[in-house]
Amino acid sequence: MKIGVVINPTSGKGKINDDLLKAFALKVKDHELYSTLSTFIHVKDLLKIQVIGSETIYKDYRDSVNAGKELSRVGVDLIVFFGGDGTAVDIILGMKEENRLIPLAGVATGTACCGPFITFRSVEDLINFDFTDINPTWVRGLNVYSNNQFLGTSFIDVVIGDTLVSTVDGEKRTVAAYDFFYHNKRVIKNPSYIKLADSSVVVNQQDFPLGKKISQIIISPFSEREKKFYISKAVTGLFCHLAFSSNSYGMIVSSEPIIFFMEDNSLPHCSELKQIIFSETDIICISNFDAFCIVDGNPKINLKHSEVCVKGEEHSGLTIKREV
């Protein structure tokens, strides 16, 4: 079996877990292994692995994009990555450039790691998995574009905001999207209001009504399992009807932050929420906010004087099922 390996050494706490790597090396020692140079330098003493591609090592998201591109070009049967949800997004971006999706299985090393591609969370998970018997399954997602340029696919959420969740000194915190995007620095910051005079949200060429204050806009795909989670939970508002709908995507426009970590763990006392449920035939365009478009935890574009369009897709990526 041909297995591609991708390592994001900067995800989460920025340190590779040696126990996870050793457990993986033991399980795949009889398989053909491939990686790009940016991964090889981290595993050359543990894995007998063939280096592909001739990339420059960028030490950022581009290494994961390159890995997805090169591994899909070689035609591996499975890609195993060590990283977080954003690493999966970048690998799939590279695969889509080659127009070939490979089943993707993640070993959790990121900050949140709650996405559908995170297959292994412990040494025990790796030891118990049979790498000769993979069961590929499709994953629903949201494709994000700007000026017809494909920015990536979200499998958890597209967030329009000025902060994101990351790890600072070993703890989950909200950090400034601006510093993360432009300087690769994690500067602690609480979310701010992001609406500008000419901000707009348009659904199928119809203006979506916005309140006076907006802190975050969150757009998510929902798996069938997630849709059932909301059934009859009226406190979730419109989303309690997801299980009864053939539509599988939802958007929340919130006057106060939803995704954040406060030092005193306080919550906003009151938040104005607007919700919609939509289908993959619908298009949402968002423009001119004092914010970034953040795809599964990674800022992709500054939305000041810019626009992104978001559209659902049933077959956005491939992962594998693991028996629990």
Domains of the chain are 2-134 (3.40.50), 149-315 (2.60.200)
| Alpha-carbon distances of 86 from 92, 154, 155, 158, rounded to whole Å | 10, 9, 10, 11
Contact 1, 30 (CB under 8 A): no
Instruction: Over range 19-43, report the average pLDDT.
Output: 94
Res 194 pLDDT > 60: yes
Tell me what pLDDT residue 54 has.
Answer: 76
Backbone phi and psi for residue 241, each to the nearest 5 degrees, phi listed first: -95, 0
**Dist CA 150 CA 192 (whole Å):** 27
- DSSP β-ladder status, 292-295 and 158-161: antiparallel
- Residue 257, token pair as written in the block: 């932050």
What whole-number distance in Å separates Cα of residue 288 and Cα of residue 276? 21
Beta-bridged to residue 298, according to DSSP, are 295
Residue with tokens 């001119």, as numbered in its chain: 288
pLDDT tens digits, one per residue of 94-115: 999 999 999 999 999 887 788 8
Evaluate whether 190 touches 271 at the Cβ level (below 8 Å): no
Confidence of residue 10 (pLDDT cuts 50, 70, 90): confident
Q: Is the pLDDT of residue 324 over 60?
A: no
Q: Residue 253: which of 154, 145, 146, 160 has the closest Cα?
A: 160
Provide the pLDDT for residue 262: 60
In tens, the pLDDT along 37-50 reads 999 999 999 999 99
How many helical (H) and strand (E) elements, i.e. helices and strands, does the chain have?
7, 20
Tell me the pLDDT tens digit for each residue of 240-299.
Answer: 999 999 999 999 999 999 988 766 666 666 789 999 999 999 999 999 999 999 999 999
What is the pLDDT, as a whole number, of residue 269?
66
150 vs 52: CA distance, rounded Å? 25
Identify the three-state secondary structure at position 297.
coil
pLDDT tens for residues 197-243? Answer: 999 999 999 999 999 999 999 999 999 999 999 998 998 999 999 99
For 68, the token pair is: 């997805």
pLDDT of residue 8 exceeding 70: yes
The answer to whether 210 touches 181, Cβ cutoff 8 Å, is no
Tens-place pLDDT, residues 129-184: 999 889 999 999 999 999 989 999 999 999 999 999 988 888 888 999 999 999 98
Q: Which structure tokens are listed for 77?
A: 């049967």
- At 230, list the tokens: 């909301």
Tell me how far CA of residue 260 lies from CA of 105, 114, 172, 178, 216, in angstroms: 27, 16, 9, 16, 10
Task: Centre a 10 Å sphere on the Cβ of residue 53 and count the other Cβ atoms it contains.
Answer: 16
Over range 305-317, report the average pLDDT.
96
Query: What is the C-alpha end-to-end distance of the chain, expressed in Å?
Result: 23
